[in-house]
Amino acid sequence: MSNRLNATPNDLRAFWMPFTANRQFKQNPRMFVSAKDMHFKTAEGREVLDGTAGLWCVNAGHCRPLITEAIQKQAAELDYAPAFQMGHPKAFELANRLVDITPEGMDHVFYTNSGSESVDTALKIAIAYHRAKGDGSRFRLIGRERGYHGVNFGGISVGGIVSNRKMFGTLLTGVDHMPHTHLPQENSFTRGEPEHGANLADELERICALHDPSTIAAVIVEPVAGSTGVLIPPKGYLQRLRNICDKHGILLIFDEVITGYGRLGAPFAAQYFGVTPDIITSAKGLTNGVIPMGAVFVKNEIHDAFMNGPEHMIEFFHGYTYSGNPIASAAAIATLDTYRDEGLFERVGDIASYWEDAIHSLADAPNVIDTRNLGLIGAIELAPIEGQPTKRAFSAFVRAYEKGVLIRTTGDIIALSPPLIVEKAHIDQIVETIREVLGEVG
């Protein structure tokens, strides 16, 4: 036992925190102990306004009564049921509720526990679908530079964020990447969808010519790239990708882990942009972030392609111990009820222009080199401090937290995504605080 850490209840060493500057955090911890609606409360008793819906997930705000009650009730009634070869009613009820809000013709859902698992599930479905149809030569997966698709091996292989990939060896083979769509020269300070860059979708044609389209199973993109620092798709870009995929028989996957469940004012970005992919991945807002759960939606012909062979045989060899977990299902149903009863998706449309004005009002703040927005998403890009990339934004994050506003930073970009219940006064507070801290961090 001599080499064990001397653990006391307040010892922070044992927990290796994810995507965190562990040493910095543990010197000066930022701890939340409770939350309600738009606010967290810190261990010191300070209120912090949530400018990021947690991690883009608490779309209905914190500790909402319907969701809390549903979880409590379900935990006391049926805590767990095996997910394989057995069922429970709530998972089926939720599936029906979900396919009511998906684009037409996507009437089937496969449950996971996270966005990363949704992505890997979607990639596996895509490859297996082609094989089920007798087209096993389609195995390649095409992602995009700066894409974020979670942290599992499939997701980091098709993803394009260098620091998430470079430590992990060869990743999946048979993967290629399209260029990202960030064109600062042409599109800086654009309100909503940028004018320039739809032609970047044609890079997919180049990749098709290189590998031959008959080897490509699927293309995966975030309709709005979030984790890389909010890249809004250029006007017409997604439709162009759709057309090229159709032309070559390639499946199009939208990773809607952050855009799903109302972030743009429609249930999914697919409906917002009027472009229907073949597969949608989701998680986060599905349960309001309260219980881990993800969902992958597929077009009917994809699902149906698997439904053959002897009826006693498993059709798709994939799934998780917690797929469709009863408590997660109950939380998701109550979340959908909350979104519907409070008209939260529609609310985004009502407040989006106020949000847009607020984000772009920061265009003249110190060191701001771009502002961008869509729905209830906003980004403020800062010039990096020479030789110290990410430091300016990280300092802004720490200072904003100290002043009572939670923002998120990635690289030197501040990314904002408040709960959909955000009020104008909250938006004012977020923007005023950011302006103040940008004046201070130099």
Q: What is the 8-class DSSP label of residue 62? A: B
Q: Residue 337: helix, strand or coil by DSSP?
A: helix
Nearer to ligand PLP, 115 or 326 (CB): 115
Nearer to ligand PLP, 115 or 213 (CB): 115
Name the minimum Å distance from CB 54 to ligand PLP: 11
Find how far residue 437's CA is from the centre of its chain. 27
Which of 99, 241, 270, 283 binds ligand PLP (CB under 6 A)? It is 283
What DSSP assignment string belongs to 68-134?
Answer: HHHHHHHHHH-----SSS---HHHHHHHHHHHHHSPTT--EEEEESSHHHHHHHHHHHHHHHHHHTT
Name the minimum Å distance from CB 328 to ligand PLP: 13
Q: Does 119 bind ligand PLP (CB under 6 A)?
A: yes
Q: What is the 8-class DSSP label of residue 40? A: E
Q: Does 218 bind ligand PLP (CB under 6 A)?
A: no
Name the minimum Å distance from CB 307 to ligand PLP: 28
Longest dimension (CA), the chain: 68
Phi/psi of residue 139, each to 5°?
Answer: -130, -15
Cβ atoms within 10 Å, residue 402:
15
Q: Which of residues 224-243 bind ligand PLP (CB under 6 A)?
A: 226-227
Nearer to ligand PLP, 280 or 421 (CB): 280
By CB under 6 A, which span of 111-119, 135-143, 177-185, 228-236 interacts with ligand PLP? 111-119
Q: Does 258 bind ligand PLP (CB under 6 A)?
A: yes
Cβ atoms within 10 Å, residue 291:
21
Q: Does 48 bind ligand PLP (CB under 6 A)?
A: no
Nearer to ligand PLP, 132 or 230 (CB): 230
Distances (CA, A) of 59 to 119, 214, 283, 337: 21, 40, 12, 13
CA atoms within 13 A on the CB side of 439: 8
Q: Does 116 bind ligand PLP (CB under 6 A)?
A: yes
User: For tokens 């998403």, what's the residue?
Assistant: 377
Nearer to ligand PLP, 142 or 437 (CB): 142
Name the minimum Å distance from CB 164 to ligand PLP: 11
Q: Measured at CB, which residue is nearest to ligand PLP?
A: 115
Tell me, residue by residue from 140 to 179, as one string, x for binding to ligand PLP by CB under 6 A and - for no binding. --------xxx-----------------------------
Nearer to ligand PLP, 238 or 257 (CB): 257
Q: Does 120 bind ligand PLP (CB under 6 A)?
A: no
User: For tokens 């089920």, what's the residue?
Assistant: 132
Distances (CA, A) of 273 to 106, 211, 278: 16, 29, 15
Nearer to ligand PLP, 102 or 114 (CB): 114
Q: Does 410 bind ligand PLP (CB under 6 A)?
A: no
Which of 176, 255, 278, 381 binds ligand PLP (CB under 6 A)? It is 255
Among 235, 228, 57, residue whose Cα is nearest residue 149: 228
Altogether, the residues listed in the chain come to a count of 442
Cβ atoms within 10 Å, residue 167:
7
Name the minimum Å distance from CB 47 to ligand PLP: 25
Pair of tokens at residue 418: 């408040």
Name the minimum Å distance from CB 436 to ligand PLP: 28
Q: Which residues bind ligand PLP (CB under 6 A)?
A: 114-116, 119, 148-150, 222, 226-227, 255, 257-258, 283
